[in-house]
Amino acid sequence: MAELRAEGLTLAYDGTPIVHGLSLEVPPGRITALVGPNACGKSTLLRGLARLLRPRDGMVHLDGQAIQRLPTKQVAQRLGLLPQAPIAPEGITVADLVGRGRYPHQSWLRQWSREDEEAVERALRATRTEELRDRPVDELSGGQRQRVWIALALAQETGIMLLDEPTTYLDLAHQVEVLELLAELNHAQGRTIVIVLHDLNQACRYADHLVALRAGRIHAEGPPAEVVDAGLVREVFGLECRVIDDPVTGTPLCLPLAAGRRRRNDRVAATTPRGAE
C-alpha cells in the first residue's frame, strides 16, 4: 500500500519558514486530518507532501523513495492533490474535466485508452456525477462542482489523495455530502486520504488519525478520541472549550465556552433583583 512520509521537513515561502523540521508518517489506508488555526502551515504542509513546494530542508518519501527525485508523472500516478477552490476552464464539460485527471496515464501515442475511459466512468459513478457528464462545470452548484473535482482526482487512480479544505464555500449539507463521499472512498477502496479541515468537530468525526498543527510544528497527533481534549484546543487554537462525546458518533465534540446569545439573558438576569424572585 502506498506510503507517504515526511522527515525533518522545512517549508518556506519567500524565505519565511512556515513549516519547521516536521516529521510525519501518514497511516496507509486511513483518513488523516490536518487541523490547526489559520496560518499554522497545514495547507503548506499539504503542498509540501504533494511536491508542489520544494523543501528548504528535509524530505518527503513516497513508497520509500525521495519524492523530489521521482519523475513527476510517476508521482502523479500514485499521489493526487485537490487544491483549495480550483477553477475550471470556461465552458468545459464535466466528463472532459474529469478526463483530464488521466493525464499521468497518457502519452502521445496513448491519448485515450480503454483504461482511461473506464477510470472516468468509475470516478463519475463513485461521485454520483454521471448524470452531469455533459453539463458545463460553470453551471453546477458548489457541491456538485466539488464532487466533480474529486472525481478528477479519483480518475487519476492514485493510492493517496490529498485534499485542501474541500468543504470551504459549501453549505452544511454539501459539506457533509463531500465528507461522506471521502469516507466511503476510503472505506470501499482503501485509499489513503489526507485532508486539511477547518472544522475540528468534522475532523474528529471523519479522521482515523488527527494531526494538530501550531506554528508550523505538530503539536499532537493520534486518533481523535485520544488527542482531542480541552487542553489541546486551548493550546492549539487558544480557545477555552468543553469537549464532550458527540451524541451521534461518539467522537470528541468541542463546545467553545463562549457566552453566545446567552449574554443577553445573563444581562436580563443580572439586572433582575434577587429578591424579586
Cα separation values, 114 from 96, 109, 110, 145, Å: 15, 13, 10, 25
In the bound complex, what is the minimum distance in angstroms from residue 46's beta carbon to other proteins? 10
Report residue 95 as a C-alpha cell.
Answer: 466528463
Site for other proteins in 13-52 (CB under 8 A): 47, 50-52
Q: How far apart are CA 27 and CA 13, in angstroms?
A: 27
Count the site residues for other proteins by CB under 8 A: 43
In the bound complex, what is the minimum distance in angstroms from residue 98's beta carbon to other proteins? 11
In the three-class reduction of DSSP (H, G, I as helix; E, B as strand; rest coil), residue 98 is classed as helix
In the three-class reduction of DSSP (H, G, I as helix; E, B as strand; rest coil), residue 4 is classed as strand
Site for other proteins in 54-93 (CB under 8 A): 72-77, 80-83, 86-92
Q: Which is nearer to other proteins, 110 or 125 (CB)?
A: 110
- Which residue among 48, 101, 216, 252 contacts other proteins (CB under 8 A)? 101
Closest CA to 200 of 39, 45, 33: 33
In the three-class reduction of DSSP (H, G, I as helix; E, B as strand; rest coil), residue 242 is classed as strand
Site for other proteins in 108-167 (CB under 8 A): 108-114, 116-117, 133-134, 152-153, 156
In the bound complex, what is the minimum distance in angstroms from residue 145's beta carbon to other proteins? 13
Q: Which is nearer to other proteins, 70 or 170 (CB)?
A: 70
Report residue 67 as a C-alpha cell.
Answer: 519524492
Q: How far apart are CA 181 and CA 187, in angstroms?
A: 10
Q: Which residues bind other proteins (CB under 8 A)?
A: 47, 50-52, 72-77, 80-83, 86-92, 95-97, 100-101, 103-104, 106, 108-114, 116-117, 133-134, 152-153, 156
